[in-house]
Chains A and B, each alone.
Chain A
Amino acid sequence: MSGADRRVLDEAGGLRAMTWVMAIMLFLTLLAAALGLGTRQSAQALERQLAGRLTVQLVEGSPVARDALAARTLTVLRAMPEVRRATPVSRADLTRLLEPWLGRADADADLPVPAMIDVDLATGADPDRVVAAVRRVSAGARVDRHQRWMSPVSGFLDTLTWLALGLVVLMLVATGAVVVLAARAGLETHRATIEVMHMLGSTDVQVARLFQRRIALDAALGGAVGGIAALAVLAFLGTRIAALGSELLGGITLGLGDWVLLILLPVGFVVLATAAARVTVVGALRKAL
């Protein structure tokens, strides 16, 4: 049928109210999706930063022996293709790190402060090979993998990502359910008109098209309102996070792909709503003659 018959459902108040329901649903879905995408980015950035970093601690009572051991270890590490950079932590830096607990440690030159070497691994390098090489030089050397001690943070970010994904799925299911309810309510409201249309020779698909067009329009309008509001909130949060200057929170950013995904989400919403309306209406009409 042509567009001239769209008015057949024009007074469907239940359907009109759906615009606002869709706006709220999409607003919440976009925020949840952005949270998931942002924490995923943050987890990936953390992974990139920490996966390739080690700290070697060499404990030796004699300062001379400790320096010699550190020099040998440094030579071995710098010769390995797996190591991109090996940097000894200076005595001054170590003293500064220990100052809160030990006071001015440099005042006591006999204090057995371990030698430390920061190691950046080459991309894709196996850290076990580096650890083994260090142990060959000094069996008592302690190697801290940054990834390991940051793993609870990384795990928490992963949990947030999955939680956000779960929320998005729940919201999509809820949206589908809202559309199904709205379509059924619309069918009930327009039962008499639909009967007449059937008697005039309308097919189920023609009747369903009236509903799906109405619902698609409501979903598009709601999607635009909810989408714009959500994107504005996300932009505002982005500026707030940037202002914090936190390294961890600073990692919660959205890439270009993420923004594209967020912008496509309302389109997916409209498609989902339209499909749900069609399936519901056609399914319900099949039960009638």
Chain B
Amino acid sequence: MANIVQFENVGLRYGTGQETLSDISFTLGSGAFYFLTGASGAGKTSLLKLLYLAQRPSRGIIRLFGEDAVTMPRRRLPGFRRRIGVVFQDFRLVPHLSAWDNIALPLRVAGVPEEDIEQPVREMLAWVGLAERAQARPATLSGGEQQRVAIARAVIGRPEVLVADEPTGNVDPEMADRLIHLFESLNKLGTTVVVATHDFQLLNRVAGAQMMRLDKGRLLDPTGALRYPPSMKGHP
């Protein structure tokens, strides 16, 4: 399995404060499923921001798709971002656009002709069970529905990596199961999935998934790799 993401001794500091992330080293294999866990404030969101290129590290090396993401010129970032789907913790749907237009947005950003957008958006809406709510605006959708729109928007461009920040944080257990199944089915299609969660119940629901644990900005396994398959009993 080829490595799609590589972090080496990465540190992140906001302003002049203490490091939010320190000495982070790991690699993510293509087509695998990862959970990133840790208590609130452990640095999960910061780590994901580095992963989806919303932030550059203060130090260390990050390689994405085989290229140095730290020194990458700004003009090249959009092309890389299109290869990464992101489900934000707060969904970040565009409030003035319908569910349909929110889901279509990545394709339009990528310049896909309008006639080639309709079918994938319709399929995606059906996939997340929102076919009937296509024209609804985010404000009229429930938390779970907004979550599913955000997921559909993240995956419609068939990204190579899907990053989801607490995707089950706002939904009931039944909906959480459905969302995890969505991620699994996407993963089976070849997408590398990284899900940040502090819900340990989720970890055993995906067979073969691997886990990284963050604590106070540091990976608990400093050697880097992953390490606590959910099937293992008594993991830290």
Is residue A202 within 8 Å, beta carbon to beta carbon, of the partner chain? yes
Stretch from B1-9, B97-105, B189-197 contacting the other chain: B97-105
Among candidates A7, A9, A193, A202, residue contacting B78 with C-beta atoms closer than 8 Å: A202
Q: A10-B96, A195-B92, A199-B52 are in contact. Are A5 and B81 (CB under 8 A)?
A: no
Query: Could you mark each residue 155-178 of chain A with 1 if its beta carbon is under 8 Å from any beta carbon of chain B, else 0?
Result: 000000000000000000000000
Stretch from B16-24, B53-61, B128-136 contacting the other chain: B53-61
Is residue B225 within 8 Å, beta carbon to beta carbon, of the partner chain? no
Interface contact A4-B74, CB-CB below 8 Å: no
Is residue A8 within 8 Å, beta carbon to beta carbon, of the partner chain? yes
Is residue A152 within 8 Å, beta carbon to beta carbon, of the partner chain? no
- Tell me, in angstroms, the Cα distance from A8 to B111 when the chains sit together: 16
Is residue B79 within 8 Å, beta carbon to beta carbon, of the partner chain? yes
- Tell me, in angstroms, the Cα distance from A202 to B54 when the chains sit together: 13
Query: Could you mark each residue 37-65 of chain B with 1 if its beta carbon is under 8 Å from any beta carbon of chain A, else 0?
Result: 00000000000000011111000000000
Interface contact B97-A7, CB-CB below 8 Å: yes
Q: Across the interface, which residues of B come within 8 angstroms of A206, CB to CB?
A: 109
Per DSSP, chain A at the interface is helix
Interface contact B54-A4, CB-CB below 8 Å: no
Is residue B202 within 8 Å, beta carbon to beta carbon, of the partner chain? no
Interface contact A196-B92, CB-CB below 8 Å: yes
Q: Chain A residue with minimal CB distance to B79?
A: A201
Is residue B220 within 8 Å, beta carbon to beta carbon, of the partner chain? no
- Tell me, in angstroms, the Cα distance from A2 to B105 when the chains sit together: 10
- Tell me, in angstroms, the Cα distance from A10 to B95 when the chains sit together: 11
Interface contact A5-B108, CB-CB below 8 Å: yes
Scan residues 245-289 of chain A and give those whose CB is less than 8 A from a CB of chain B: 286, 289
Of the four ranges (under 10, 10 to 19, 20 to 34, 35 or more), the interface on chain B belongs to 20 to 34
Q: Across the interface, which residues of B come within 8 angstroms of A289, CB to CB?
A: 53-56, 74, 77
Interface contact A193-B94, CB-CB below 8 Å: yes
Q: Across the interface, which residues of A come within 8 angstroms of B52, CB to CB?
A: 199
Among candidates A2, A7, A201, residue contacting B96 with C-beta atoms closer than 8 Å: A7
- Tell me, in angstroms, the Cα distance from A193 to B114 when the chains sit together: 21
Q: Across the interface, which residues of B come within 8 angstroms of A192, CB to CB?
A: 92
Q: A195-B92, A206-B109 are in contact. Are A2 and B114 (CB under 8 A)?
A: yes
Query: Could you mark each residue 183-196 of chain A with 1 if its beta carbon is under 8 Å from any beta carbon of chain B, else 0?
Result: 00000000011011
Q: Chain A residue with minimal CB distance to B105?
A: A200
Interface contact B81-A8, CB-CB below 8 Å: no
Q: Across the interface, which residues of B come within 8 angstroms of A102, CB to CB?
A: none
Interface contact B108-A4, CB-CB below 8 Å: yes
Is residue B198 within 8 Å, beta carbon to beta carbon, of the partner chain? no
- Nearest-neighbour CB distance to chain B for A210, whole angstroms, equals 11
Is residue A139 within 8 Å, beta carbon to beta carbon, of the partner chain? no
- Nearest-neighbour CB distance to chain A for B139, whole angstroms, equals 12
- Tell me, in angstroms, the Cα distance from A199 to B161 when the chains sit together: 13
Interface contact A1-B108, CB-CB below 8 Å: yes
- Nearest-neighbour CB distance to chain A for B108, whole angstroms, equals 5
- Tell me, in angstroms, the Cα distance from A289 to B74 when the chains sit together: 7
Scan residues 22-52 of chain A and give those whose CB is less than 8 A from a CB of chain B: none
Is residue A108 within 8 Å, beta carbon to beta carbon, of the partner chain? no
- Nearest-neighbour CB distance to chain B for A284, whole angstroms, equals 14
Q: Chain B residue with minimal CB distance to A286?
A: B74
Interface contact B54-A196, CB-CB below 8 Å: no
Q: Across the interface, which residues of B come within 8 angstroms of A197, CB to CB?
A: 105, 109
Interface contact B105-A5, CB-CB below 8 Å: yes
- Tell me, in angstroms, the Cα distance from A286 to B82 when the chains sit together: 19
Is residue A93 within 8 Å, beta carbon to beta carbon, of the partner chain? no
Interface contact B94-A202, CB-CB below 8 Å: no
Q: Chain A residue with minimal CB distance to B75?
A: A203
Among candidates A4, A202, A203, residue contacting B101 with C-beta atoms closer than 8 Å: A4
Interface contact A200-B109, CB-CB below 8 Å: yes
Interface contact B74-A2, CB-CB below 8 Å: no
Interface contact A199-B54, CB-CB below 8 Å: yes
Is residue A16 within 8 Å, beta carbon to beta carbon, of the partner chain? no
A-B contact pairs, 16 of them (CB 8 A): A4-B101, A5-B108, A10-B96, A192-B92, A196-B92, A196-B94, A197-B109, A199-B52, A199-B92, A200-B82, A200-B106, A201-B82, A201-B109, A202-B78, A289-B55, A289-B74
Nearest 7 A/B pairs, CB to CB: A201-B82, A201-B81, A1-B108, A201-B78, A196-B92, A200-B106, A203-B78
Task: Give B residues with C-beta under 8 Å from A.
Answer: 52-56, 74-75, 77-79, 81-82, 86, 88, 92, 94-97, 101, 104-106, 108-111, 114, 153
Since A206-B109, A289-B53, A289-B55 are in contact, a sample of 11 more A-B pairs with Cβ atoms closer than 8 Å, ordered by chain A residue number, is A1-B108, A1-B111, A4-B108, A7-B97, A8-B94, A11-B96, A192-B92, A200-B109, A200-B153, A201-B78, A201-B81
